[in-house]
Amino acid sequence: MDVFDQAKRSDVMSRVRSKDTKPELLVRRHLHAAGLRYVLHDKRLPGKPDLVFPSRRVALFVHGCFWHGHEGCKKATIPATRPEFWRSKIETNKARDARVVRELEVAGWDVTVVWECSLSLSTLDELARRIAYTRRR
């Protein structure tokens, strides 16, 4: 059972952002501090990746565990209220994510997905090293 009435839940959900989320801002700050420069939400690419490193042809997505159905993650549980709706919504998101990754890879891009639950200093350092050492094209 939901703790909010339908109007309040609708208001809460309408405030969920698709870009400039806290996990995304954390990744952006860390990579920028590491000297890496990027383009934000490039509309020319499938799925509008959160960060794009054009010279390295790297597209990076910062996924929220709930919204993108991170397998095995405790943050990716289906709500008890309207579970059929949420299961369908998250499965649709996962299918879209897979399609977008395929399209980018076919176009010659390296695609990296960073999960919200895995954001730690060591993970961000490793990500910065991996991107920095990706050969410029």
The per-residue pLDDT for range 40-78, each reduced to its tens digit, is 999 999 999 999 999 999 999 999 999 999 999 999 999
Q: Note whether residue 14 is domain-resident.
A: no
**137 domain-assigned:** no
Owner of token pair 């698709």: 18
For residue 58, is it within any domain? yes
Report the pLDDT value the prediction gives residue 115, as an integer from 0 to 100: 97
E runs forming strands in 69-134: 110-115
74: left (phi over 0), alpha (psi -120 to 50) or beta: alpha
Beta strand 51-53 with 58-63 is antiparallel
Lowest mean pLDDT among 1-10, 48-57, 74-83, 84-93: 1-10
Is residue 4 a part of any domain in this protein?
no
Tell me what pLDDT residue 19 has: 80
- Structure tokens of 41? 């939400």
Between 128 and 137, the higher pLDDT residue = 128
Higher pLDDT, 135 or 119: 119
CA torsion, points 45, 136, 98, 115, in degrees to nearest 10?
-110
- Domain count of the fold of the chain: 1
In a domain, 78, yes or no: yes
Give the domain range for residue 121. Answer: 19-132
Res 6 pLDDT > 90:
no
User: How high is the pLDDT of residue 14?
Assistant: 72
Residues above pLDDT 90, as percent of the chain: 80
Identity of residue 58: V
Strand partners, 114: 62
**The one-letter amino acid at 76:** A
- Supply the CATH number for residue 69's domain: 3.40.960.10
Residue 108's pLDDT is 97
pTM of the model: 0.87
Determine the 3-state secondary structure of 60 from DSSP: strand
